[in-house]
Structure 1
Amino acid sequence: MASVNQFQVTFDCAEPERVARFWCEVLGYVVPPPPDGFATWEEYDRTLPPEVQGAWFACVDPSGAGPRLFFQRVPEGKVVKNRLHLDVRVGTGLVGEQRLAVLEAECARLVALGAVRVRLLRADGVNESCLVMQDIEGNEFCLD
């Protein structure tokens, strides 16, 4: 039987720390402690060569259940639709107007953090309603 390995989700972005801190707020994740011998990530970053300072940042699920999220700086901007996206499961088990109310409330919270509402996909008899959104650098995700 094959074993399941741990994995992380990696985001290409222009501003790794900014995007990581956004996703901390979305998911309730936290920034892990800096490496031993450093009081802060900023202190650690200053020890790196200038060309790699601020090149990456990460956040983790404080319960240890969810995957680590890793954000790496890339020179090119986002130009096409994501082939992979996160579904943020805020309406699990809810249907109809109750589900829509929860999705809309979470959407409002995330828009205040800099997310963009793209469109509402209404229930169609097969799938329940969800909200398509973009994070602060345009990466698509769904409130599901």
Structure 2
Amino acid sequence: MNLTQEEILEQCTKMCKNTLMETLDISFCEVGKDYLVAKMPVTSKVHQPDGVLHGGAMVALAESVGSAASFMFLNAKDFYIRGIEISANHVKSVKEGNVYAKAEIIHNGRTTQLWDIKIRDEEHNLVSVVKLTTIALPKTK
């Protein structure tokens, strides 16, 4: 796909309309040759009852950025991208600010892709480490 970085970020933003990503205020903010970054504000909307970022919200952020990266880097207009396995280790609590998820490709196969996703706070502290496997399913006509 021969798009500029701005065009890739714009396409990612368009894909989020009326979705969980829009509900969680996830936005895409940086793209490189083999990575994509998304951010999510940490507000009461994504807190667990004791006032810290909910692990499920972090997993939703990670799957969102990894799946979007698969879609963008595969030139996947002829494919549906689906997450098929995800595992997360949460290592730090966050109460406010923003968190940033950076998806980097580990394996870019024709059918499956493996992503390493690190979530960090605004001070670049590691918050969560996520591994995501996506699958590219051909669209039938």
Please confirm whether the aligned pair reaches a TM-score higher than 0.5, indicating the same fold.
no
Give the structure with the higher percent strand: 2
With normalisation by structure 1, the TM-score equals: 0.29
